[in-house]
Amino acid sequence: MDNPEIGQPDETADVAVPVTLTVNGRRHDLMLDPRVTLLDALRNYLGFTGTKKGCDQGQCGACTVLVADRRIDSCLTLAVMNQDVPIVTIEGLGAPESLHPIQKAFIEHDGFQCGYCTSGQIMSAVALLEHEKPPASDTEIRERMSGNLCRCGAYPGIVEAIRCVRDAARNPVAGEAA
């Protein structure tokens, strides 16, 4: 077991290996083919289908999740590389009866149409507002949300939703009134 890579790799090399993922605060012990990306582990092995596959190449952001409070494209990393770190998906954010403020704002400002890129947009927005330097301007929001493509063109609503949540956090009283 010291050097498990020793030996001639062959077609049996796709044997599953133990992988432990901590998703939305819960630990999951899995046996996975090392080829399984974090995205496919979430979707196909853990049932977190809220995280979407749009391109599988890091070019659309639909698969954005938080790993150790940072937003990443989960399609370009292997599940086996993401053990021992907290992973948060859209399912860990809020439920229909207990929405996260950003989820509420996306509904109020209609920050989506088809909804397919929405989980990724919201995870990016959460990272932007809660784990990164808050954006100072709409231009900055737009630039820093540009890793999340939306073909329906919901960008104006997305920017509005993020701006409103940011402003409400800065000024809670006014935020509640609005």
Partner 1 sequence: MNPFRYVKATSPADALARMGRNPGARFVAGGTTLLDLMKLGVETPDVLIDINHLGLDGITEDRHGLHIGAHVSNTDLAEHDSVKKKWPVMSQAILAGASTQLRNMATVGGNLLQGNRCGYFRDVAMPCNRRDPGTGCGALGEQPGVEGINRYCAVLGTSPSCIAAHPSDMCVALVAVDAKVKISSPAFDRLERAEDFFRLPGDTPQIQTRLGPDELITGIELPELPAGARSMYLKVRDRTSYAYALTSAAVVLTLDAKGRIDHARVALGGVGSVPWRSHEAENALLSSPPTEEAFRAAAEAAFAGAVPYQYNGFKIALGQDTLVRVLNELVRPGAGERP
Partner 2 sequence: MIPKNVIGAGIDRVDGPLKVTGGAKYAGDVSLDGMVYAVPVTSTIARGNIASMDTSAAVKAPGVRIVMTRENAPPLFKGGNDYDDACQSGEDWMPLQDDEIYYDGQIIGLVVADTLERAIHAADLVETSYQSCRPMVDLTAALKKPDATQPATALGQPLQYERGDVDKALAKSPVRIDRTYTTPVQHHNPLEPHASVAEWSDDGSSLTLHETSQWVVNSRNSIARMLGIDQSKVTVRVLSPFLGGGFGSKGYAWAFSALTAAAARELGCPVKLVLSRRQMYSLNGHRPSTTQAVTLGSDRRGRLKATRHLCGTYTSKVFQYIEPVVLSTQLLYKCSSLRTGFDLARMNTGTPTPMRGPGETPGLFALESAMDELAFATGVDPIDLRRLNYAERDPRTNNRQRWSSKHLNECYDKGAEEFGWKDRPKKPASRRDGRWLIGYGMASATYPAQNTSSSVKVSLTADGRAEIEVASHDLGTGTYTILCQFAANELGLPVSKVSCRLADTFLPPSPCAGGSQTVASVGPAVIAACKNLLTFRKAGMPGEETVTIPGSQPNGFSWQSFGAQFAEVRVDAALGRIRVHRFLGIYDVGQIINEKTARSQVHGGIIQGIGMALMEATAFDPYFGRVMTPNLADYHFPVNADIHGIRVSFIDEPDPHFGPMGARGLGELPLTGAAAAVANAVFNATGIRVRDLPILPDTILAKG
Instruction: Give the C-alpha distances (Å, rounded to integers) separating 119 from 19, 47, 115, 155.
Output: 24, 15, 8, 14
Pairing of strands 64-67, 17-23: unpaired
Element (H, E) at 89: none
Per-residue binding string, partner 2, 144-163, x by CB under 8 A, is -xxxxxxxxxxxxxxx----
Q: Is 143 in the site for partner 1 (CB under 8 A)?
A: yes
- Please tell me the total number of residues recorded for the chain in this structure: 178
- Report residue 171 CA to chain centroid gap: 27
Binder of residue 55, out of partner 1, partner 2, none (CB less than 5 to 8 A by kind): partner 2
Q: Which letter, b or e, does each residue of 96-124 get, where b requires 16 or more Cβ atoms within 10 Å of its Cβ? A: eeeebbbbebbeebebbeeebbbbbbbbb
Per-residue binding string, partner 2, 43-82, x by CB under 8 A, is xx--xxxxxxxxxxx-xx-x--------------------
Q: Is 37 in the site for partner 1 (CB under 8 A)?
A: yes
Element (H, E) at 64: strand 64-67
- Residue from 70, 85, 115, 178 that binds partner 2 (CB under 8 A)? 115
Q: Is 77 in the site for partner 1 (CB under 8 A)?
A: yes
Whichever of 3 and 137 has its CB closer to partner 2, that residue is 137
Q: Please give the residue ranges that form the binding site for partner 2 (CB under 8 A).
A: 11-12, 14, 33, 35-36, 40, 43-44, 47-57, 59-60, 62, 89-91, 93-96, 99, 103, 106-108, 110, 112-119, 122, 138-139, 141-143, 145-159
